[in-house]
Amino acid sequence: MTNIIKRYYYVFFFLCITIIYCFGFPCHMSASRKLADPVLRIGNAKLSGRIENFTLLPKELSVYVDAIVYSPITGQHEYRTVLEQDQTFHLNIPLDCTTAIGSLRISSDTEYYGFFIVGLSQKEKLNLDIKFNKNENSMIITESKGGLGLTSNETVSFGGAIMAFEEFHSPDKYYRMTPEEFVNQELNFNLKERMKAAFNVYNQSERINNYLRNSLELLFFNGKLFQYKEEAERSYRNTTDKVESNYVASEPDASYYSFLNQYELTPQHLYCFSYSGFIKAFLSIKAFDIPTVGNTSIKVWIDEVKGRIKKVLKIDSELFYDLLAANSFDLQLSYENKPLTKTQIANITNYYSTQNSAIATVLLNQNSQLIEKLKSSQDLKVKNTPNVAKEKLMDTLIAGYKGKVVLVDFWATWCTPCADAIKKIRGLKEALKEKDVVFVYIANPSSPKKVWENQIKIIGGEHYYLTADEWSFITEQFEFNTIPTYLIYNSKGSLKDKSIGFPGIKKMQALLENVLQE
């Protein structure tokens, strides 16, 4: 579960999003100074735009426009279109809430042009006028109409503020603190200092500032306050003042989490980009010992959860508990890659038929998509690593695919760019399935074995799980230290290309087809 928390902690770099009743500072603003309250409802937001003064460079094949949104249940989703010849773009973006804060990324295979905040609404189309600055090779939104009603000034990305928040480091020796001392130090000093650093970099309208503040709070709870044991032990590993060789921090008891009572649940937290990560981390709190929902009746499960936390937390929101159950189901679907049972489908359909019916739609759609992914990944093979000296490992491994072109993908379960690339390559695998191409995936112990076993179910292809020593040797042998990294071998076993980072689907396809034509 720690791997899940890490994944959601870092995913915030993509910004944007939708979410739900969670913990954050209460805001008392007039209607004109706050965002419209979102409501759980399945629908689409339309987004169109035009880029002024832009000409595609000769070396570029396409310019991509990516909308990034978050579901309060299933997390991050990206939707892509290409810039048309008249410099316009159009997107139809599925949302799980009536309104959402999202982000827009404009790039090509060779250039990065801009990243913006966008306010999306199922009721009103969003139209953007974007101006290209040739001298700076960048873009700005000059006018924003419709959608959630954000002004052009409010579309400026707050990536710098998030970086400032994340990069704040406290020299505190956490291993010397009790859990109670730790939470007091973090809430009363470090969180305030992080917020100060963030808003020294970025200071916008009150409604956008509050959205960012609420999101950063949830991010901090998830990535810091829920991690006392990990933080204390990491602090001890990094100190030179060691007094014992086998220091193990204590696990906080349930009372530790009473700090959450300081934060009021408001509809505005539907917008927080960090909600899904927060709620999944909440489910993993050991002191509460919350069971998976499994085949248990949802109402019975919720009552049991309430009983486990009621002595510590005063949470009355039914929506919170409904989403807690939904996220428990999503852990099964998204992390175990295990389809819903007939009992679970019946429980979901019955329970959500009278309240928050959008949740049932999301989960059942997610289940259908998972079943299709599993069907398309029936070529999955888990291979034993060749029992040879590490110096001969790659040569021996590739020799097993003689007569075939081999794409080797070095990846990890916690690597978001790796996961994004694997999704994009899925279509390429389908296009090349009748040709002699083998897709080989290599991971190491930084990917927990159980998580790795679950994730490869929907990837397919041939998988190897190396030791840390084997991985270290290969990264030195092929001179790379970041992932994803790709090696392409021809049918004779000769290395023909190496790509550090995903080169884009068009370039990847071109590289493979060139090697196939040899």
Chain centroid, CA 182 distance in Å:
27
Report DSSP state, residue 389. -
Q: Which residue has the tokens 């050991």?
A: 286
**What pLDDT is recorded for position 17?**
33
**144 phi and psi angles, rounded to 5 deg:** -130, 120
Q: What is the CA radius of gyration of the chain?
A: 24
**What pLDDT is recorded for position 31?**
37
What are the residue boundaries of the structural domains of the chain, listed by start? 1-250+266-277, 288-376, 381-516
Asked if 139 and 106 count as a contact pair (C-beta separation under 8 A), the reply is yes
Q: Which amino acid is present at 108?
A: S
pTM (2 d.p.): 0.84
Asked if 105 and 66 count as a contact pair (C-beta separation under 8 A), the reply is yes
CA atoms 334, 337, 341, 342: torsion sign: positive
| CA pair distance 257, 312, nearest whole angstrom | 7
| CA pair distance 101, 61, nearest whole angstrom | 30
The DSSP bridge pattern shows strands 99-108 and 88-97 to be: unpaired
Q: Which two tokens stand for residue 100?
A: 């959402």
Q: What is the CATH number of domain 381-516?
A: 3.40.30.10
**What pLDDT is recorded for position 239?**
80
- Walk along the chain (518 residues) and give the pLDDT tens digit of each residue: 444 444 444 444 333 333 323 333 333 333 357 899 999 999 999 999 999 988 877 777 789 999 999 899 998 899 999 999 899 999 999 999 999 999 999 998 788 899 999 999 999 999 999 999 888 888 999 999 999 999 988 998 888 999 999 998 777 789 999 999 999 999 999 999 999 999 999 988 999 999 999 999 999 999 999 999 999 998 988 887 766 778 899 999 999 999 999 988 778 888 999 999 999 999 999 999 999 999 999 999 999 999 999 999 999 899 999 999 999 999 999 999 999 999 999 999 999 998 899 999 999 999 999 999 999 888 899 999 999 999 999 999 999 999 999 999 999 999 989 998 998 898 888 888 889 999 999 999 999 999 999 999 999 999 999 999 999 999 999 999 999 999 999 999 999 999 999 998 888 999 999 999 88
Q: Which two tokens stand for residue 503?
A: 């080169």
| CA pair distance 300, 184, nearest whole angstrom | 35
Name which of 293, 273, 269 is nearest 20 in CA terms.
269
Burial class (CB in 10 A: 0-12, 13-18, 19+), 59: exposed
**What pLDDT is recorded for position 292?**
97
| CA pair distance 77, 75, nearest whole angstrom | 7
